Structure 1
Amino acid sequence: MNITYTEKEIDQVAKMVIEKSTNKVLLFHAPMGAGKTTLIKAIAKHLGVVDAGNSPTFGIVNEYENKSSHLLAYHFDFYRLNDEMEALDMGFEDYLNKNVWVFIEWPNKIESFLPEKSTNIYIEVIDMTTRRITIS
């Protein structure tokens, strides 16, 4: 499935991603600045997250909750990982064993530990305001 969109259409795209996802582990493949975090924040909003905040680039993982403080999702940004073993050291496998959404930016950094049942989301930069997303 391919969708071309602008940031103004991000809410509709977020809804489609949720509907088309065959599981709760979403892998975001895109170059720096392509809009991975922007899309994840829109998805989280549609799931009922209160405050999706910023990318967890410096902390590696953010936890997202709803108004009742019920955990809804984890958002990982593995950009700064030097070795995939760092993901294991932080307990990555434990995060995957919970029944919540898991959003992973830079999944190529931890390929050995990705679950087989994941939804791949590829974001391509068309121009300054337009992106194309492919879900597989």
Structure 2
Amino acid sequence: MEIKIQNIDTIRESAREFIQNIGERKVFAFYGKMGAGKTTFVKAICEELGVEDVITSPTFAIVNEYEAHDQSIFHFDFYRIKRLEEVYDMGYEDYFYSGALCFIEWPELIEDLLPEDAVKVTITENTDGTRTVTF
């Protein structure tokens, strides 16, 4: 599947299209260069799912938990992870296998720990400033 994000003003439309196509899948690994828009897209997805909390990058906290319509959503950012032991210590299995939606940024740093059914989502910045989301 491929979704085009034309600009920041249309990102919520792209997030709705993403949500319509995730099916029953729960764990999503977001790949993309620094500045590609991973956090911005995850924020738009969470807003479209009904999260009313302030949605921020969990860069320093590693994981943020949000609630939307009686469901938990976990947003991870593993950019600052130095060793896999840090991920073991945080109890990653409790999150990844909880049945809650999990949105993971910088999954390449923990690929060995991702569930087999994790969906690889790639965000690419195009030369015209648009973004392409593939999964």
Does TM, scored on the shorter chain, surpass 0.5? yes
Corresponding residue for 1:27?
Answer: 29
Cα displacement string for residues 24-79 of structure 1 (whole angstroms, at most 9, x for unaligned residues): 11110001111101100111111111124210001100000137xx4420000000
TM-score by length of 1: 0.90
Matched with 2:129 is 129
Which whole-Å CA distance do the structure 1 matches of 2:45 and 2:123 have between them? Answer: 14
**In structure 2, C-alpha distance between the alignment counterparts of 1:80 and 1:71, rounded to whole Å:** 27
Number of the residue aligned with 1:65: 67
- Residue 63 to residue 128, structure 1, CA distance change in 2 (3 Å): farther
Cα distance change on mapping 1:97 and 1:3 into 2, 3 Å: closer
**CA offset at residue 133 of structure 1?**
1.1
Match of 2:41 in 1: 39
Corresponding residue to 1:51 among 34, 50, 53: 53
Instruction: Please name the residue that 2:88 is paired with.
Output: 88
Distance 1:114 1:72, change over 3 A: same
The Cα of 1:90 is off from its aligned counterpart by: 0.7
Q: Distance in 2 between matches of 1:56 and 1:118?
A: 20
**Structure 2 residue identity aligned to 1:17:** F
Shift of 1:85: 2.2
Deviation readout 1:56-115 (Å, 9 max, x if unpaired): 001100000137xx4420000000001122111111011122221100000011111100
Q: Which runs of 5+ in 2 are unaligned?
A: none
RMSD of the TM alignment (CA)? Answer: 1.6
Q: Distance in 2 between matches of 1:72 and 1:42?
A: 16
Which residue is equivalent to 2:2? 2
Percent of aligned positions that are identical: 44
Structure 1 distance, partners of 2:91, 2:118, is 19
In 2, the alpha carbon distance for the partners of 1:61 and 1:126 equals 29
Three-state SS of the structure 2 residue aligned to 1:40 is helix
- TM-score for both structures, normalised by structure 2: 0.90
Q: Is the 8 A contact 2:57 2:77 kept in 1?
A: yes
Q: Give unpaired runs (5+ residues) of structure 1.
A: none
1:17 equivalent in alignment to 2:28: no
